Structure 1
Amino acid sequence: MNKPIRVVAVFCLVLFMALLVNSTYLMYVRAGELSEDPRNRRILTATYSRERGAILVGDDAIARSVSSNDKYRFQRTYSEPFKYAPVTGYFAYFSQTGVERSQNPVLSGDDSRLFVTRLVDMLSNGDPKGGNVQLTLDAAAQDAAWNGLEALPGEAQGAVVALEPTTGRVLAMASTPSYDPNVLASHDFGAVSEASERLNDDPREPLINRTIGTTLPPGSTFKLVTAAAAIESGNYDADSMVPGGFRYQLPQSSTTIGNYDGGNCGGRRITMTQALQVSCNVTFLSLANELGTEAMAEQAEAFGFNGTSLEDLAGQAQSLYPRDMDAPQTAMSGIGQSSVTATPLQMAMVAAAIANDGDVMRPYVVDEVRAPNLSVLDRTDPETISKAISSTTADELTRMLVATVDSGTATPAQIPGVEVAGKTGTAQSTADRPPYAWFVSFAPANDPKVAVAVLVQSSDTSPDEIGGGALGGPIAKAVMEAVINR
């Protein structure tokens, strides 16, 4: 072989080896990255050409794929978009959120549990289909939660979450303002990009699921945690006499804190039940200071603070009870202020644990995973996370909470013929904005079917009319009635 031919042969061999190395690199090293790149139109076309599974509430598909008249074959649609968007999330060419993301392997048909279905489709030359996801949500409870938030004055920001105390099933999860995931599922990708940019730039943050993604001071609803820690200490019960009065001086400080209404809670010494009924700040400041940071932190963590528990829906923020607070901060934490923050889900878990004899159940939104033929592939089993309080403490707290609804600050949650347990909360924010309104409850008190937490972050309500009972009580009542009467 002469030299020119040899040079050409070597050069071709080098090119062939380079091509082989590059192909190997693309197929085995960067395959995952390239398949997830939204600019990869082959993957995009394949994804949109497969019938994605449905997301179900009861017998109704709140998200499903329908035939389209373009090259992508299937269009993702949402039947009640604003009401369910915080849970379903969206399915867009650039990403997914909510259940669309957490259950994507099932919905897309790529889950290993659908191997037999894929094999049958291949052998029969049928079109591949995704599996279906059955949610735990109760349609009537979700309606009540959403309608309650929509009825708030102005462009309100708020959230409602309802749990089944004995299992942790999420019965309602509503957040406002919301958005329409249909605009993000469009095949007009230019319009989708514009809509995404508009939603991300919206100062009202409609893409946030406030039930799990917003943490704010829980205010007086946190007094349930303080009361639980006090009773668990063995030194108190519902009838114990505790400090009342007009004001409380923070330890190691000249600052004094008064009660919300400026009153004296009924006297210098009152029962624990009365303290909760009138939401006496002096009482719970005093108790938190007496118990100390360690005992308060342990009780908060037993209910789920400083951790996350929701595993089948991304975006849960940690509810925080810092362990490094000084004495004045610890006292303030007793009324849900200082550095204490909570999501509505966390406060619903506190109420649900009290309703469930002290057991904290892991919350979940996915009830069942089903094949395209609706056969059940998997079902979520209830799981106990912790024993937050004893059943005796739970009974004492329930008695106190029932009294608070019967003749205390939580009377807006009263349901005729049903014993309701509840607690209001009004948390102070910065000096230039109105307070946050909270409400937690469960019913029936003697056989709890539902626990609810309501947060009204903002609304066009006069600052002197903002209160957890006035704003959150009617919403919680409607949700509880929807579950009880189903």
Structure 2
Amino acid sequence: MNGTIKRVSVACLLMFGLLMANVTYLGTVKADDLRTDSRNSRAFFARYAIDRGWITTDDGKTTLAKTVDTGDSTYRFERRYPMGKPFAQVVGYFAPESSSGIEAAEGSYLDGSHPDLVVRRAIDMISGKPAKGASVDLTLVSKAQQIAYKDLASTGKRGAVVALDPKTGAVLTMVSVPSYDPNPLAVANKDTVNKAYNKLDKDDNKPLLNRAINLTFAPGSTFKTVTSAAYLSDDTSRTAETEVDAPDSLPLPGTSISLPNYHGESCGGRATLVEALTISCNTPFAKMGMDLGYDKLKEQAAKFGVGEPLQIPLEVAPSNIGPDQGKAALAKTAIGQQDNQMTPLQMAMVAAGIANKGTVMKPYLVNKILGPDGSEIDATRPDELSEAVSPEVAGELTKMMVNVVAHGTGTSAQLPGKTVAGKTGTAETAPGKPSHAWFIAFAPVDNPQVAVAVFVESGSAGNDATGGAVAAPIAHDVMQAVLGE
């Protein structure tokens, strides 16, 4: 009899142990999968039981995402986006089964599940009140954001605009066009949301992609600023007035072809660095790249953040100058072609690093996190990413870029009463296809408050678009808006 009881006891203990192991497994390892499973109707309804925190900008003065009480016990709270398309790529959407942008990146604060909100969550549970999340205030300047969007969208362009505070790294503008209205993706109806999402997902223009950070493009002549930085840093005796070879065409080693200047223009055979950048000669910068070698050019690019994994907190696709494919390829890489691929954010960081006397700051989108009671939970503190160049080299680069805007290809970016430094770029894409148009800049030069990169995608601004004609005027408007003019 005792033996039977022992065997039953052991069996019960074993089953209890297995039960506890299964509960632990489901509650820890499988918890997220079960919570997000599309068949979990409980999770679906729970998403709408939370008074989700708001997303704002301009120190809380402009509302980008808000929660309204519908009075419906099933779908108590609904998400709305009053500013719509201009901010959609940054703010994202909060859908029945998914989220994107800041809605996803800061989701644990917005839905109140972050450890910083554990006390508040306990109070709400005890009091029986709906769970309430924290608010997220962004660094965006709403006026500049809307102007950047209007300038791109009103003429049917595809592209992106990024503006940074050079001294802090705060993202002042981040626009991607085409964009989308996030409101249809936020309704509490899976079928409606799926139809709206699928329509956007199948759109050939890819409005769901943030061209500012999700995609990379050939930067064209804007990359000549990086090549110039490497050339000046390689020999401290060099300045903006140093003369370099500037032939009408440059034979490429190991090939039977020569690299010409844009549209076959002549740069006079010899030119100072400032002259070469002002009229955007290809041949001198291509030769600089070959003379420096791949490793030095890659190292200089890395000092500006190229290849650095970034989260702002949105994830940023890494930029890259491409692999080492020999001297001929390096000549093209040095002028922003070949396999050279940059995000608009990365090129804004290049401009910002030069503006900030050589120091590149980590870019960031979140200004601060505010608890449900309005108290500050967290705030971003500016942090250095790297020392791209010395202050002296940054000064020489600034002189060169000032001349581009004052007398060269970037005159459309001039601001009344303020000195602007900039560089145009016209990047070839494929034989017979239109070029990308770029412009990077910062202002005012004596006290930089904004650095900007404007990218206009191939074919969306005509077949012969250039950075000076298409991108520079947009940069002008964005800088003017940031500076409050």
Q: Same fold (TM over 0.5)?
A: yes
Alignment correspondent of 2:481: 482
Alignment correspondent of 2:290: 289
DSSP 3-state at the match of 1:433: coil
Alignment correspondent of 2:425: 425
Task: Give the alignment of 1:449-460 within 5 angstroms.
Answer: 449-460=449-460
Identity of aligned residues (%): 44
Does structure 1 conserve the Cα–Cα contact (< 8 Å) formed by 2:461 and 2:470? no
Distance change in 2, residues 1:278/1:24 (3 Å): closer
Alignment correspondent of 1:447: 447
Distance in 1 between residues matched to 2:91 and 2:110, nearest whole Å: 12
Q: Aligned AA for 1:139? A: S
Alignment correspondent of 1:340: 340
Task: Give the alignment of 1:185-204 within 5 angstroms.
Answer: 185-204=186-205
Match for residue 264 of structure 1 among 242, 246, 266: 266
1:254 and 2:253 aligned: no
Does structure 1 conserve the Cα–Cα contact (< 8 Å) formed by 2:439 and 2:467? yes
Distance in 2 between residues matched to 1:77 and 1:303, nearest whole Å: 38
Alignment correspondent of 1:469: 468
Task: Give the alignment of 1:59-70 within 5 angstroms.
Answer: 59-70=61-72
Match for residue 80 of structure 2 among 74, 77, 80: 77
Distance change in 2, residues 1:45/1:399 (3 Å): same
DSSP 3-state at the match of 1:342: coil
Q: Aligned AA for 2:66? A: R
Distance in 2 between residues matched to 1:279 and 1:31, nearest whole Å: 57
Match for residue 245 of structure 1 among 244, 247, 255: 247
Q: CA RMSD in A?
A: 2.2
Distance change in 2, residues 1:76/1:254 (3 Å): same
Distance in 1 between residues matched to 2:290 and 2:303, nearest whole Å: 19
Does structure 2 conserve the Cα–Cα contact (< 8 Å) formed by 1:420 and 1:445? yes
Distance in 1 between residues matched to 2:357 and 2:331, nearest whole Å: 27
Does structure 2 conserve the Cα–Cα contact (< 8 Å) formed by 1:38 and 1:93? no
Distance in 1 between residues matched to 2:321 and 2:302, nearest whole Å: 8
Does structure 1 conserve the Cα–Cα contact (< 8 Å) formed by 2:405 and 2:420? yes
Does structure 1 conserve the Cα–Cα contact (< 8 Å) formed by 2:219 and 2:427? yes
Structure 2 gaps of 5+ residues are: 2-7
Alignment correspondent of 2:90: 87
Q: Aligned AA for 1:397? A: L
Alignment correspondent of 1:163: 164
Distance change in 2, residues 1:381/1:23 (3 Å): closer
Structure 1 gaps of 5+ residues are: 2-7
Alignment correspondent of 1:130: 133
Task: Give the alignment of 1:212-361 within 5 angstroms.
Answer: 212-234=213-235, 236-265=238-267, 267-314=268-315, 316-361=316-361
Distance change in 2, residues 1:227/1:17 (3 Å): closer
Distance in 2 between residues matched to 1:323 and 1:16, nearest whole Å: 58
Q: 1:361-410: per-residue Cα shift (whole Å, max 9, x none)?
A: 00000010110111100010101011000000000010111111001000
Distance in 2 between residues matched to 1:205 and 1:432, nearest whole Å: 23
Does structure 1 conserve the Cα–Cα contact (< 8 Å) formed by 2:63 and 2:83? no
Distance in 2 between residues matched to 1:378 and 1:17, nearest whole Å: 42
Distance in 2 between residues matched to 1:29 and 1:277, nearest whole Å: 59
Distance change in 2, residues 1:229/1:27 (3 Å): closer
Distance in 2 between residues matched to 1:13 and 1:352, nearest whole Å: 65
Task: Give the Å deviation of 1:433.
Answer: 2.1
DSSP 3-state at the match of 1:190: helix
Distance in 2 between residues matched to 1:358 and 1:293, nearest whole Å: 21
Does structure 1 conserve the Cα–Cα contact (< 8 Å) formed by 2:47 and 2:96? no
Task: Give the Å deviation of 1:93.
Answer: 1.6
Does structure 1 conserve the Cα–Cα contact (< 8 Å) formed by 2:44 and 2:97? no
Q: 1:62-110: per-residue Cα shift (whole Å, max 9, x none)?
A: 1011112541101111011211011011111221111011100000001
DSSP 3-state at the match of 1:62: strand
Q: Aligned AA for 2:403? A: A
Distance in 2 between residues matched to 1:18 and 1:169, nearest whole Å: 52
Distance in 2 between residues matched to 1:11 and 1:112, nearest whole Å: 40
Normalising to structure 1: TM-score of the pair? 0.94
Task: Give the Å deviation of 1:45.
Answer: 1.1
Alignment correspondent of 1:5: none
Q: Aligned AA for 1:133? A: V
Q: 1:331-374: per-residue Cα shift (whole Å, max 9, x none)?
A: 11110011110000000000000000000100000010110111
Q: Aligned AA for 1:215? A: T
Higher deviation after alignment, 34-43 or 328-337: 34-43
Q: 1:96-155: per-residue Cα shift (whole Å, max 9, x none)?
A: 111011100000001111122223323433222000000000111112211111133x3x
Alignment correspondent of 2:210: 209
Alignment correspondent of 1:366: 366
Q: 1:403-449: per-residue Cα shift (whole Å, max 9, x none)?
A: 11001000010111110001100000111421100000000011100
Alignment correspondent of 1:380: 380
**What is the aligned length?**
478
Distance in 2 between residues matched to 1:461 and 1:221, nearest whole Å: 18
Alignment correspondent of 2:4: none
Distance in 1 between residues matched to 2:165 and 2:20, nearest whole Å: 57
Q: Aligned AA for 1:196? A: Y
Q: 1:173-208: per-residue Cα shift (whole Å, max 9, x none)?
A: 000010111111111210111111121111111000
Task: Give the Å deviation of 1:323.
Answer: 4.6
Task: Give the Å deviation of 1:36.
Answer: 2.1
DSSP 3-state at the match of 1:374: coil
Does structure 2 conserve the Cα–Cα contact (< 8 Å) formed by 1:184 and 1:196? yes
Match for residue 118 of structure 2 among 115, 119, 123: 115
